[in-house]
Amino acid sequence: MKNRWRNKALGYCFILPAVIYMLVFIGYPIVYNWVISFQDATALTLRNTNRAFIGLENYRNIFADRTFIAAIAHTFIYTIGCLVIQFVLGFLFAIFFAKDFKLSKTIRGLVVISWMLPVTVTALVFKFMFSQDSGIINTILMNLHIIKEPVGWLLQGGTAMWVLIIANSWVGIPFNMLLLTTGINNISKDIYEAAEIDGATKTQQLFKITIPLLKPTIMSVLVLGFVLTFKVFDLVYVMTGGGPVDATEVLSTYSYKLSFQLFHFGEGSAAANVLFVCLFIVALIYLKTTTNEES
């Protein structure tokens, strides 16, 4: 019994620094954010210890703002567009790199470079690539006679969102590829050999063996991709800043502008909490799905 309690105490000592870190740098900011979302927190009252409690007034204000409603729509459009492109291309790359050929590991390592780069660097690169005056995209398209004059990709609401989706997909495809490749490699080769003996085609093996056995991995990839994409900030802020005319405004940039440009900290916290609730619901759905699968 003493050894058992000693081992438990030792385990608690090992996890204690991580628990303290999460409580101080994650738990406290979340709780504080919820508190000020129900208070009159502005640049004038933020330092006051007895800020006025205004209930759901901050939430009413942001939901009455058309920009906030547009930001929610833009966030979901951006997230779904990125997930579709990232998953489809990542899955195709995973099937390709799961094959055993000479340069598979080398090429796979080169592809992962885009995921390892800082997001701000990626944002600046794509911002210059799609710039109207000196962007390489306009130069290539004009040389191919696809367009007659330079296009302001980031200056038009209809194209700016697509540029953001393309930039984020370039970062996310290697992430999807790595996880899906690992899942495919964990499938026993004996299953495919038995299917070939029974006369199953490659297409039948894909839909009857690979995809069903990859379901847990696919769920993990989609949920992680949704969380990482839905809370995007740096890519959008560097490339468009939410413009032109709020055409690429998302929840994170909307919350940032309310808090640190307009200094309406209460409303900014309320917008951030809406983002938190959306991600929390997705996490609950994921836990429910995985629990059902395990049972």
Helix (H, G, I), strand (E, B), or coil: what is residue 39?
strand
Residue 243's alpha-carbon distances to 22, 141, 246, 272, in angstroms, are 34, 24, 4, 19
pLDDT at 291 over 80: no
Average pLDDT over residues 116-123: 91
Q: What is the pLDDT of residue 48?
A: 81
pLDDT band at 278 (very low <50, low <70, confident <90, very high): very high
Q: What is the pLDDT of residues 5-27, one digit of tens each?
A: 888 888 889 999 999 999 999 99
- Reading the block at residue 6, the tokens are 């000693």
Q: How far apart are the first and last CA of the chain?
A: 33
Q: Is the dihedral of CA 193, 198, 202, 207 positive or negative?
A: negative
Radius of gyration of the chain (CA): 24
Average pLDDT over residues 235-246: 92
Following DSSP, what letter does each residue of 225-261 receive, concatenated? HHHHHHT--HHHHHHTTT-STTTT--HHHHHHHHHHT
Q: What is the pLDDT of residue 293?
A: 65
Q: What is the pLDDT of residues 214-226, one digit of tens each?
A: 988 898 899 889 9
Q: Are 271 and 258 in contact (CB under 8 A)?
A: yes
Q: What is the pLDDT of residue 232?
A: 92
Q: What is the pLDDT of residue 7?
A: 83
Taking all residues of the chain, what is their mean pLDDT, rounded to a whole number?
Answer: 90
pLDDT at 70 over 70: yes
pLDDT band at 1 (very low <50, low <70, confident <90, very high): low
Q: What is the pLDDT of residue 294?
A: 63
